[in-house]
Amino acid sequence: MTIDPATLRPHYSRFLREDRILLTGHSHQAWPDVAREGVLEAFDDAARHVDDKWAAAAEAADAVRAAVAGAIGAHPDEIALGASTHELVTRWLSALDLRARPHVVTTGGEFHSLRRQLARLEEAGLEVSWIAPEPLETLSARLAGAITARTAGLAVSTVLFETSALVPDLDVAIDAARGAGAEVLLDTYHHHGVVPLSLRADVYATGGGYKYLQWGEGNCWLRVPSGSTLRPIYTGWFSDFAHLAAPRGARVEYGRRPADRFAGSTYDPTSHYRARRVIDFFVREGLTIERLRALSLAQTARLRAGLAGYTVRTPEARGGFVTVELDDAPGAVARLRERGVFVDARGRLLRFGPAPYVTGDEIERALAIFRDVAR
């Protein structure tokens, strides 16, 4: 049974308005009303338990771990949580043996969390191979070809954030990296929650709930393979509660669970309370990944058809949004916003991101306004 956006809209009463169309679902989706209940629950637990709130907070965090693990085919013990993917990616980078193998392979189409950090490390002496994302059909082979005995890690997105393109044949690059003894990190932020995802047992992966999952900020994760022995240099004290009383000066240890190696420190648990409420809401409403994918494909197909005549950069094998190239994409974003249509741009690329609560009528109205603005 297909999802009817009109039946979902009453559950988003605080975000949705008749005078605006939210097509930034690839960036920040509306929160269902139950998310507010989670925020209030976090406040009430803090007021009730004061510094003893952490047991209740851990239950909320465990609900997030379980939801992520179930969605990607992992075990909850493999899921480390963080406020941002940058925090988690930087821990992963800090765990690589960059002295012995000072080389990382990535693409020129990565999001700023990874791109900026690798560019700064390159300034400090790290060797980085930036592989052009196009032509897309040869990307994985070209990534594989860049891997050498000096490569410590391969870091690549499964869906490119600028164009929504699904990266094909990634196993080719992953096999080359693992065969050379390099670790692999997949950025799945534009995959998880909108395209079915099943991860290999030997890769690290990161993502978050800010976009398609409707969890809001502070709900990012890193999947850590069960056999991981990496020892992050950038490490928080949550990584090993069991040895907090060990003599100072002893070797730094990590917890028993794979994800403990990449744990951080004291955080704001409100995000996990909010996410837990939304997770339960998705279950109640039957918002499975299969139904969400079917709706997303129908919505993005409608957008692609309505953008005929413009330079659409999103291929048929796509994630959850559609990109069109314009000379003045930022200016178009501003003009569309003035008329109640919310989209965004990355350079010359204008991005349209539907969501489960966006109706077909809204998409058609947005396209008509876009064509008027683009003229």
Find out whether 206 and 185 touch, Cβ atoms under 8 Å. yes
CA distance 113 to 76: 24
User: Is 340 within a domain?
Assistant: yes
Give the residue from 281, 311, 332 where a domain finishes: 281
Task: Identify whether residues 16 and 40 lie together within a single domain.
Answer: no
Residue-number span of the structural domain to which 331 is assigned: 5-25+288-374
Task: Identify whether residues 134 and 213 lie together within a single domain.
Answer: yes
**Is-cis flag, bond preceding 135, omega within 30?**
yes
Task: Identify whether residues 65 and 163 lie together within a single domain.
Answer: yes
**pLDDT of the residue at 92:** 98
Task: Identify whether residues 247 and 296 lie together within a single domain.
Answer: no
**pLDDT of the residue at 237:** 87
DSSP 27-42: T-PPPPTHHHHHHHHH
Task: Identify whether residues 224 and 361 lie together within a single domain.
Answer: no
**pLDDT of the residue at 375:** 84
**pLDDT of the residue at 243:** 76
Q: How many domains in the chain?
A: 2
Q: What is the CATH number of the domain that holds 170?
A: 3.40.640.10
CA distance 359 to 96: 46
**Considering only CA atoms, which of 39, 50, 177, 190 is closest in space to residue 109?**
190
Task: Identify whether residues 113 and 235 lie together within a single domain.
Answer: yes
Sign of CA dihedral 241, 246, 248, 254: negative
User: Is 31 within a domain?
Assistant: no
User: Is 30 within a domain?
Assistant: no
CA distance 19 to 342: 11
User: Is 369 within a domain?
Assistant: yes
Name the strands in the sheet holding 344-346, side by side, starting at the edge strand that comes first in the sequence: 311-312, 322-325, 349-352, 344-346
Task: Identify whether residues 101 and 59 lie together within a single domain.
Answer: yes
Give the residue from 261, 281, 301 where a domain finishes: 281
User: Is 270 within a domain?
Assistant: yes
Task: Identify whether residues 216 and 310 lie together within a single domain.
Answer: no
Task: Identify whether residues 295 and 352 lie together within a single domain.
Answer: yes
Task: Identify whether residues 217 and 317 lie together within a single domain.
Answer: no
Task: Identify whether residues 198 and 170 lie together within a single domain.
Answer: yes
**pLDDT of the residue at 247:** 79
Task: Identify whether residues 231 and 117 lie together within a single domain.
Answer: yes
Give the residue from 222, 255, 281 where a domain finishes: 281
**pLDDT of the residue at 241:** 77
User: Is 113 within a domain?
Assistant: yes
User: What tokens were used for 313?
Assistant: 């950069």
Find out whether 72 and 79 touch, Cβ atoms under 8 Å. no
Mean pLDDT of successive 10-residue segments in the chain (375 residues)?
Answer: 95 97 97 98 98 96 98 97 97 98 98 96 98 97 98 98 98 98 98 96 97 98 96 92 76 89 95 98 98 98 97 97 96 97 97 98 98 92
pTM of this prediction? 0.96
**Contacts of residue 86, Cβ cutoff 8 Å, sequence gap at least 6:** 113, 114, 117
Sequence length of the chain is 375
Q: What is the CATH number of the domain that holds 349?
A: 3.90.1150.10
